[in-house]
Amino acid sequence: MATVDYNTEDENDVSDMPITGCTESAPASIPLIEDHDYAASPLIVVDRIKYETMSREIEELRRQLESYHLTQGFGLQRFATSPEDIRYYTRFPSYEHLMAFWNLIQEATSRMVRVTSGQKSLSTSTSTESPVNRPTKLLPIDELFLFLNYLATGCTQRELCHKFNIHRAIVSRILVSWSNFLYTLLGSVSIWMAPGRVRANCPADFSGTYKNTQVILDCTEMRCQTPSSLLLQSEVFSTYKSHSTFKALIGMSPHGALTFVSALFEGSISDKEIFRHSGITSLLTPEMDIMVDKGFLVDELVPGKVHRPAFLSKQAQMSELDVLRTQSIARLRVHVERLIRRVKENKLFDTVIPLSISGSINQMFTVACLFTNYQYGPLVKKWVVD
């Protein structure tokens, strides 16, 4: 029987047979798993110079971002470094001056009664505010800035809602709330001065005949929107301005401080009647003289002396004494007109007042008048009171 020799040279060795899918130049490799080196240090080595450079860049970008937010938001801090802008938007001469006033009223703002709290109990509406229960997203100081902006620029409420990025109804509520708040707060401070203090601060210009002058009085009128009612039209129409107006009586002490402001009356009222109904007669005593314009025929209403320019009456010309007296009174009385001009630098009162704010215009006007004692220096530089 024949046998087969499996070890012959003709047969190929199995190890020499090629494997499909593999090449001799790229032998298969098995990845090795490296063990964790627990002895390695946890500290990461960083280039210190590069680290400090990047830190400075990050800090600079952070400051730029904060500056960007300030420039994008319309608030008091945006104009803190610009006295011109502060004066334009608030009538205060500088940011420091405004902040000094804010420090006087800041504590009282936490007890402000807002119009949105009218249906709540008094204890709830006068509770201390916090960022959580504050009725608007604006800070209280920015709400004050909004109110001052409205008085100073005379812009519309629609413009304010776009500037401060809040709803128009919120703007209206802020204006009403702050006008009532400041009217109550500033109105609680007595501005009427005792005769002794007035004489102690009386400028030398008032010496002699006018040394006992307690107050210089004058009326001012502000144009308002004409109402649709014919009856109201006849009441607010002023023949002097040939327009519908509101009218008020303003009083100034001889050294230039505002010491009296009346409520607003309809434009058709006379100077004598507004003097009668303003309440100033209850403040006057026999030792107090007043200085007025020709329209104030109030001698019977004043217990003291009335300094008023002389009338020509039926004379062909005034006497020399009357001319000199009229000139001296006019030279002193003109300062109350300068005080009124300061009030009307608030453009709201130098334009046609819309009837939509007639419910708060009396408070706004009174607050603007009282602000003149906080916003400005003396009317005349030499009238500086120590």
Range of weakest confidence among 40-54, 138-152, 156-170, 199-213 = 40-54
Give strand ranges (E) for the chain: 213-223, 237-238, 243-252, 258-261, 265-266, 289-291, 306-307
Closest of 18, 217, 14, 185 to residue 109, by C-alpha: 185
The pairing of strands 213-223 and 243-252 is antiparallel
* 232 Cβ contact partners less than 8 Å away, ≥ 6 residues apart: none
- Mean of the pLDDT values across residues 132-142? 71
pLDDT of residue 337: 93
pLDDT of residue 44: 58
**Residue 13 pLDDT > 80, yes or no?**
no
Q: What is the 8-class DSSP label of residue 261?
A: E
User: What rounded mean pLDDT belongs to the chain?
Assistant: 83
> Each residue of 23-74: pLDDT tens digit?
455 555 555 555 555 555 555 556 778 888 888 888 888 877 766 554 456 8
Question: What mean pLDDT is predicted for residues 166-188?
Answer: 95
Torsion of CA 29, 30, 36, 42, to 10 degrees: 30
Rounded Cα–Cα distance for residues 298 and 306 (Å): 8
In the numeric block, which tokens belong to residue 261?
């402001």
More confident residue, 29 or 262: 262
pLDDT, position 317? 80
Q: Give pLDDT, residue 233.
A: 93
Look at residue 219 and tell me whether its pLDDT is greater than 70. yes
Assigned CATH for 195-358 = 3.30.420
**Rounded mean pLDDT, 287-313:** 90
Structure tokens at 150: 């409205």
Domain ranges of the chain: 51-187, 195-358
- pTM attached to this predicted model: 0.76
Q: Give the list of residues 6+ apart from residue 181 with CB closer than 8 angstroms, or none.
A: 108, 109, 112, 113
According to the model, what pLDDT value does residue 237 have? 96
| 360 vs 41: CA distance, rounded Å | 73
Sorted by sequence, the CB contacts under 8 Å of residue 366 that are 6+ apart come out as 183, 187, 261, 263
Residue 136 or 358, more confident = 358
